[in-house]
Amino acid sequence: MRIDALQYCNYSEKIFRQWREAHLDAVHVTIAYHENFREMVANLEAWNRHFERFPELIFKGTTAADVELANASGKTAVFFGFQNPSPIEDDIGLVEIVHQLGVRFMQLTYNNQSLLASGCYEPVDAGISRMGKEVIAEMNRVGLVVDMSHSGDRSTIEAAEFSKRPIVITHANPYEWAPALRNKRDEVLRAVFQSGGMIGFSLYPHHLRDKSECTLAGFCQMVADTVSKYGVEHIGIGSDLCQDQPDSVVEWMRVGRWTKQIDYGEGSKSVPGFPPQPDWFADSRGFNYLQTGLADVGFSETEIELILGGNWHRFFKQNFAPLVG
């Protein structure tokens, strides 16, 4: 099984074909940054049109069994997630509705404070809000996974403790390897893993040591070091690939409608756009390089299988269905 636990590309037949060349059985795609419910539904509609147009390449995935079906049929199952809770607006009833629409991951915050928690760019992180606790409990009940990739440390640790089911960081790297605001400190990773959760390692240059110049060997050594420290079972890939997107999209991601100013997020005034990808991960076919790179740093076939998808597959199996009883 190969699974990419986060992408946000400008999707096209070209990219779907690259998924097949990368042997990706499943991809978790972002369908909302700042969209309200109705706007997010319009994004679902666009995905329905992709599924209608390219049935030989992709289909909508909602269960771990869909990953297996994809693997058996040579297609890619597409799983939906939000990077922000904006699509549920102020309405806890929408948690179950979005799960019924097939959404499987929701970040409680995107950089900023939300109704539920605080983002990693806020100067003060007050932790999980009153509504945040209610929403986590409802997410647990229906099988919508709490993703804290863009949240603050306190919010993440509190979410891991409060949630009755594992929480995840779909896309980030260890802070000690690359000290970016979005990367995760030891205590955060421990809290996530203690909940039974996972991290998907990111290939987004702002999360990498040496950014666009990061080497395959260096990345794979980071994977090896993290596995030594925490165990292989918590580790996967969430590439954060933003392929073929115009820079207007990174501006939407960072700015949404919350400010009239430009916020550069992980970029800067001099480098405001999407950074260039490392040449060994220009698109999803980088998974084929990862296979080799992970072997070169000493991982066994079995471990590589777990890291490139097996662990996420197990996680999907345990966390996408409603709690019974």
With CB under 8 A as the contact rule, the residue among 12, 13, 21, 42 that binds a second copy is 42
Name the residue nearer to a second copy (CB basis): 50 or 207.
50
- Closest separation between CB of residue 39 and a second copy, Å? 11
| Cα–Cα dist 310/86, whole Å | 31
Of 102 and 273, which has the nearer Cβ to a second copy? 102
Choose between 97 and 255: whose C-beta lies nearer to a second copy.
97
Applying CB under 8 A, among 10, 12, 48, 73 the residue interacting with a second copy is 48
Minimum separation from the CB atom of position 58 to a second copy (A)? 15
Nearer to a second copy, 106 or 232 (CB): 106
- Of residues 212-241, which lie at the interface with a second copy (CB under 8 A)? none
Nearer to a second copy, 44 or 295 (CB): 44
3-state SS, residue 170? strand
Rounded distance between C-alpha atoms, residue 92 and residue 138, angstroms: 8
Using alpha carbons only, what angle is made at residue 118 by residues 116 and 121, rounded to the nearest 5 degrees? 150
**3-state secondary structure (DSSP) of residue 226:** helix
By C-beta, is 46 or 217 nearer to a second copy? 46
Stretch that binds a second copy, among 42-50, 123-131, 145-153, 251-259 (CB under 8 A): 42-50
Give the helix ranges, DSSP H, for 101-166: 130-142, 153-162
Q: Taking CB under 8 A as the criterion, which residues in 155-214 touch a second copy?
A: none
Please tell me the distance from the alpha carbon of residue 138 to that of residue 156, in angstroms, as a whole number: 17
CA atoms within 13 A on the CB side of 272: 13
**How buried is 181 (Cβ within 10 angstroms: 0-12 exposed, 13-18 middle, 19+ buried)?**
middle
> Whose structure tokens read 């997107």?
245
Tell me the closest approach of the beta carbon of residue 128 to a second copy, in angstroms. 23
Query: What is the nearest approach in angstroms of a second copy to the Cβ of residue 31?
Result: 13
The continuous run of DSSP H or E covering 241 comes out as: none
| Binding characters for a second copy, 70-109, by CB under 8 A (x = yes) | ---------------------x-xx-xx--xxx-------
Q: Is 256 in the site for a second copy (CB under 8 A)?
A: no
In 3D, which of 28, 191, 27 has the Cα closest to residue 107? 28
CA neighbours closer than 13 Å in the CB half-sphere of residue 239: 29
- The least distance separating a second copy from the CB of residue 161, rounded to whole angstroms, comes to 25
C-alpha–C-alpha distance, residues 315 and 97, integer Å: 22
**H-helix or E-strand containing 145?**
strand 145-147
Residue 42 CB, nearest approach to a second copy (Å): 7
Residues forming the site for a second copy (CB under 8 A): 37-38, 41-42, 44-46, 48-49, 91, 93-94, 96-97, 100-102
